[in-house]
Structure 1
Amino acid sequence: MAEKQSLSEVHQSVATHQRKGWRRILAFLGPAYLVSVGYMDPGNWATDIAGGSKFGYQLIWVLLMSNLIALLLQSLSARLGIVRGLDLAQASRNTYPKWVNFPLFVLAQTAIIACDLAEIIGMAIGLNLLFGLPLIWGISITIFDTVLLLFLLNKGMRKMEAFIVSMVFIVGISFLAEMFIVQPSLGEIAKGFEPSMLGGEALYIAIGIIGATVMPHNLYLHSSLVQTRKFERDSKGIKEAIKFNFIDTAVALNLAFFVNAAILILAAAAFFKNGFHEVAEIQDAHELLSNIFGDVAPALFAIALIAAGQSSTVTGTLAGQIVMEGHLNLRIQPWLRRLITRLLAIVPAFFTILYFGDDALGGLLILSQVVLSLQLGFAIIPLIHLNSDKKEMKEFTIKLWVKILAWLSAAVIVALNIKLVIEEIGGWIKESNNAWYIYVIVLPVAILVALLLLYIFVYPFVGKKQLISNVPHGDALAIGQIEKINYEKIGITVDFSENDRKTIRHALIQGGKDAHYYLIHVVETAAARYHGKTVMDHETQSDIDNLKKYQENLAELGYQSTPHIGFGGTAKAIAEISNTNKLELLVMGAHGHKGLKDLIFGTTVDSVRHKVDIPVLIVR
């Protein structure tokens, strides 16, 4: 089976080779901005606010360090996509045994749902703070982001990137304005860049900042998004693409660092300096801003939160599509893929509010970051292995010093995230009166996940001979002797529109005067759906008369045909007539709907071809 292109609907949709000078550089810019929004999502806000309110400017250096690690890993992700033309999920499927890919998919999908959960909560909180909309309504509204994403993708990759960049711009401008309002101390900010020893709660929050900054779905996403650029696939073209994408990544992630640092500085200047050291919730931060600075600062804060949630959710749902298609080689309709991801995230948020109240959302936000922490190693370790593979990467294999830095970063992140998970589980055991489910479910799952992580790290070292080739397509087969196919029974679907003439002509060309033609029309009225063959309403009578006219017309031309009326569901009725009459070929006219129309009016052709075992000729 041929390898499907990553995000095929926008694959190589942005041309770069026809542009010169700075326009050529600009053509490559964009993918990293879509990735960078994941580095300033509501999950980051929670850790930055907690860090700034409790420890002032002390943890800015932790933000800088995590941003540098993110820059290294994202550049490796972009390199993989550019050189091998595969995203991280596809490359992992080709590298590891088949049985490993299903748990890898489940873990990656769980992380995306957890990330989406943080976006949904952030968006709902932002709407609540700005308009007073109840949280449960805010969460319900976020389901329509799926339609927004479908609209943006139909408009093209550049339009979607422009939307994301505008959202990021809103966040950046909001916090720049906040800085002028709170007037932080520049000297103390500079002092915060000096690394310091961390212990106790400061270490815990630092781990949270790193865990919230380097997110797994961004690595899958970046390796796919760089493939939207069309460039020459020679050595020079690949080198240029790697260079320009590194510039794109450096600029975008530094912007993300500015936003995260701004949130932490805002919390330090507004809360730490005023003695409010226990600001853990986003709502608390907004309320305190109102008390200290009046109306403007909290309004900007809420607007930025909505923009961050909106942009992050678009990229998170794109990552869901990449992970499913990459690990499982399974493709479903993009809008359905995104709707599933969104629903899986909305359901826990919805029931948390219903059963535990609005106040429990803060705890759910922290839980989502813990789930993200668990998944991180499963993206980083294969990424480093794949970039180190000389056989596949050839001259673009990463240098030894980059490899050492990457493995050190992976070790730090995995170790800190394991520590975070252990502390969280320990906290759950202490807080719970009846902790049996932790010992029966949570601990065994955590141990299995740890063993799988170890296997993924070791396998490329010991199992290289078993590695599956990642050639995107299979080998060409010999076509053999060509013989004319004589169809004797040909079905023709008609709807009495101007398209029928084309459909019937194409069918007659296939079978000539030796074949028998089955003229098929389906009555879709409410009465037909309910009563089936017994219905004899005006539309049914009219359709029967029209089919007979086609039959008589064909007879005059020397062709044999039989009219067949179906009732109810179009695809099901056409398939039943085809199977009952043992047709050998089905000729159908396509309605030509695109985008939202396709969603509303349905895809009959697509549904029929899955219900029949004969060739289907589609006529436009």
Structure 2
Amino acid sequence: MMSTALGEGEDRRSGVLASIHVPSGNVAWFRRFLAFVGPGYMISVGYMDPGNWATDLQGGAQFGYTLLIVVMLSNLMAILLQALSARLGIATGRDLAQACRDSFPKSLNIVLWLACEIAIIACDLAEVIGTAVALQLLFGIPLVWGALISAADAFLVLLLMNRGFRYLEAFVIALLGIIAVCFMVQLVAAHPPLMGIVKGFAPSLDIVTNKKLLYIAIGIIGATVMPHNLYLHSSIVQTRDFSPTSLGRRDAIRWATWDGTIALMLALFINAAILIVAAAAFHGTIHQGITEIGEAYHLLSPILGLGIASTLFAVALLAAGTNSTITGTLAGQIVMEGFLNLRMPHWARRLLTRSLALMPVVVVTVLYGDRGVGELLIFSQIVLSMQLPFAVVPLVLFVSDKRKMDEFVISKAVSVVSWVVSGLIIFLNGKLLFDVCF
């Protein structure tokens, strides 16, 4: 199956695929590892985008540290699923969208493609809102104009892509570093109680029985495990020029898994930090009901007693929104080409996706103001969560298939865990949909 997939006229060494050199021979392990560092951080961007901020902020302010366990579990789910995605791409030479096109009837592929496009638009909706809010907080630009300005990021993506994939990765990693530093400073200023954080990582039955808690919990899962990231990761791991032999693929899978795991641990730190800062600053106070990113910005400095805290918060938000636009563009391109075998210039794809995300932001901003935009941001994460089964189920199905994966098929134990995770996601999404409707 692998040889057939690689021989269908889509050479792995075309374009940016296999464009990054991997040292071979008797070289130090860290040199080989560094060659594979990058894709993990590209996909980690989706796990700390502005959508996460809204859900983590609301969860921390309203429920203290209770939802830290959800942040951790969703991150562990993400590590597992992204490792499977990387394995699929390296072992078969096909990304998840291409694998679906190879294996499923056209009608089902259309459904899967539409579901993924909805997820990408929902994610882009969060990026538009996050960027617009950050520009408003930092420079006083109205939300509507900030949303329109965000469309210009298409040209930033095009510029970086033209310079080479390593430049794209370096830019993303630099912005991730800025976000991490901003939240380290805020964590120190917040002085959160250690025991409260420890208790937050312990399971709580309230999360399942309390509808409000469950709603935010599902939002956190939806904002953390990104459907389109599974398509993205299976493609960009193929940018490394590893040996197409069995040994070369096995080595590539190992380093790609480490890259993704380390990068997603950074995402766990940032998501947990947002929730912890919100809990320390707002929970148990008159500001406990805070739901807006803008409100948090104005209150952080006076509450934490650190003048620069609010500015750092907004800078990190702008960096997160900018970063997310890059991966959203790449994912959209991969999904469209994979499912439909249809190619579109990156700038055109970006402007199309951004236009579809801009319309609801502009309409809601004009009709309902800032508060309506905040509720739209939360809703976008619920939409993302609803799309997860459409990406997770095909992924686990493929990596569990001996005919498709050959010697790289996952073990029975890993397959069982993967199906349990998939089933849990589907169950939680179903319960949320039932609660919302009835």
Normalising by structure 2, what TM-score?
Answer: 0.94
- Quote the Cα distance in structure 2 between the aligned partners of 1:373 and 1:196: 21
Match of 1:419, SS? helix
1:375 aligns with 2:387: yes
Number of the residue aligned with 1:414: 426
Which runs of structure 2 are paired with 1:142-153 in the superposition (5 Å)? 142-153=150-161
What CA distance in whole angstroms lies between the structure 1 residues aligned with 2:369 and 2:31?
52
* SS class of match (1:108): helix
Q: In the alignment, is the contact (CA less than 8 A) between 1:66 and 1:214 conserved in 2?
A: yes
Structure 1 residues 416 and 79, CA gap change in structure 2 (3 angstroms): same
**Equivalent of 1:361, from 357, 362, 373?**
373
Aligned residue type for 1:237: G
Aligned residues of 2:189 and 2:306 also touching (Cα < 8 A): no
The CA deviation at 1:6 is 7.8
- Equivalent residue, structure 2, for 1:611: none
**Alpha-carbon contact 2:218-2:382 (below 8 Å) kept:** no
> Which amino acid counterpart does residue 350 of structure 1 have in structure 2?
V
C-alpha contact (below 8 Å) 2:301/2:310 kept by paired residues: yes
Higher helix share: 2
Aligned letter for 2:108?
V
> Are 1:314 and 2:326 counterparts?
yes
Q: Do structure 1's residue 267 and structure 2's residue 273 form an aligned pair?
A: no
Q: 1:98 aligns with which of 96, 101, 106?
A: 106
Gap runs ≥5 in structure 2: 1-6
Structure 1 residue aligned with 2:16: 10
Alignment of 1:175-254 (within 5 A): 175-198=183-206, 199-200=209-210, 201-254=212-265
- Name the structure 2 match of 1:71: 79
Q: 1:331 aligns with which of 336, 343, 367?
A: 343
Q: Distance in 1 between matches of 2:364 and 2:257?
A: 41
Q: Are the equivalent residues in 2 in contact too, given 1:120–1:139 (CA < 8 A)?
A: yes
Alignment RMSD (CA, Å):
1.6
What is the CA distance between 1:254 and its match in structure 2? 0.3
Output the TM-score relative to the length of structure 1: 0.67
Partner residue, 2:3: none
Q: C-alpha displacement at 1:8, in angstroms?
A: 5.2
CA distance in structure 2 between the aligned counterparts of 1:208 and 1:342, rounded to whole angstroms? 22
Q: Within 2, Cα distance between the matches of 1:6 and 1:342? A: 29
Contact 2:13 2:19 survives alignment (8 Å): no
- Kindly provide the amino acid, as one letter, of the partner of residue 424 in structure 1: V
**Which one of the candidate residues 269, 278, 299 is aligned to 2:289?**
278
Question: 1:395 and 1:220, CA in 2 relative to 1: closer, same or farther beyond 3 A?
Answer: same
Counterpart Cα distance in 1 of 2:380 and 2:15: 30
Code of the residue aligned with 2:218 in structure 1: it is I
| 1:161/1:217 CA distance change after superposition, 3 Å | same
Residue 32 of structure 1 and its aligned partner are, at CA, apart by: 0.7
Counterpart of 2:44, as a letter, is S
* Equivalent pair of 2:120/2:228 in contact (CA under 8 Å): yes
Checking the alignment, whether the CA contact within 8 Å between 1:120 and 1:346 is kept in structure 2 is yes
Deviations 1:420-453 (A, max 9, x none): 2233334xxxxxxxxxxxxxxxxxxxxxxxxxxx
Amino acid at match of 1:24: R
Is 1:173 matched up with 2:181? yes
Shift of 1:2: 4.4
> Separation in 2 of the partners of 1:57 and 1:359?
24
Following TM superposition, by how much is the alpha carbon of 1:246 offset from its aligned partner in structure 2, in angstroms?
0.9
Residue 9 of structure 1 aligns to a residue in which SS? coil
Query: Deviations along 1:259-294, whole A, 9 cap, x unmatched?
Result: 000000000111114342211111121122143235
Report the counterpart of residue 480 of structure 1 in structure 2.
none
Q: Quote the residue 1:31 is aligned against.
A: 39
Amino acid of the structure 2 residue aligned with 1:82: I
Q: 1:360 to 1:4 in 2, by over 3 A?
A: farther
> Aligned equivalents of 1:145 and 1:345: distance in 2?
14
- 1:389 aligns to what? 401
Aligned residue pairs, count: 426
CA apart distance, 1:407 = 0.5
Q: Which amino acid aligns with 2:168?
A: M
Give the aligned residue type for 1:257: L
Q: What amino acid is aligned across from residue 131 of structure 1 in structure 2?
A: F
AA aligned opposite 2:123: C
Q: Which range moves more in the overlay, 182-191 or 223-232? A: 182-191
Show structure 1 runs of 4+ deviating over 4 A: 5-8
Inter-CA distance 37–112: structure 2 relative to 1 (3 Å threshold): same
Measure, in 2, the Cα distance between the counterparts of 1:253 and 1:3.
Answer: 34
**Counterpart of 2:424 in 1: which secondary structure?**
helix
Deviation at 1:155, TM superposition (A): 0.8
In 1, Cα distance between equivalents of 2:431 and 2:161: 40
8 Å Cα contact 2:223/2:381 also seen in 1:
yes
Q: In 1, are the aligned partners of 2:222 and 2:386 still within 8 Å (CA)?
A: no
Matches within 5 A, 1:415-430: 415-426=427-438
| Aligned counterparts of 1:280 and 1:403: Cα–Cα separation in 2 | 38
Taking the aligned partners of 2:204 and 2:131, their CA distance within structure 1 comes to 34
Letter in structure 1 aligned against 2:272: A
2:139 is the alignment partner of 1:131: yes
Q: What is the DSSP-based 3-state SS (H/G/I as helix, E as strand, rest coil) of the residue aligned with 1:335?
A: helix
Change in Cα spacing, 1:176 to 1:6, as seen in structure 2 (3 Å) is: farther
Structure 2 distance, partners of 1:122, 1:227, is: 30
In structure 1, runs of 5+ residues without a counterpart are 427-620
Change (3 A) 1:270 1:7: farther
Question: Can you list the C-alpha shifts for 1:432-491, whole angstroms capped at 9, x where unaligned?
Answer: xxxxxxxxxxxxxxxxxxxxxxxxxxxxxxxxxxxxxxxxxxxxxxxxxxxxxxxxxxxx
Answer whether contact 2:88 2:95 (CA < 8 A) is retained.
yes
Q: How far apart are the structure 1 equivalents of 2:52 and 2:436?
A: 18
Query: What secondary structure does 1:166 align onto?
Result: helix
Normalized per residue, the structure richer in strand is: 1
Aligned twin of 2:309:
297
**Cα 1:294–1:24, aligned 2, differ >3 Å: closer, same or farther?**
closer
SS class of match (2:182):
helix
Give the fraction of aligned pairs with identical amino acids, expressed as a percent. 52
SS at match of 1:357: helix
User: Cα deviations across residues 536-588 of structure 1 (Å, max 9, x unaligned)?
Assistant: xxxxxxxxxxxxxxxxxxxxxxxxxxxxxxxxxxxxxxxxxxxxxxxxxxxxx
CA distances 1:381-406 after superposition (whole Å, capped 9, x unpaired): 00001101101211110000100100
Residues of 2 paired with 1:206 and 1:243: CA distance?
31
Equivalent-residue separation in structure 1 for 2:38 and 2:218 (angstroms): 29
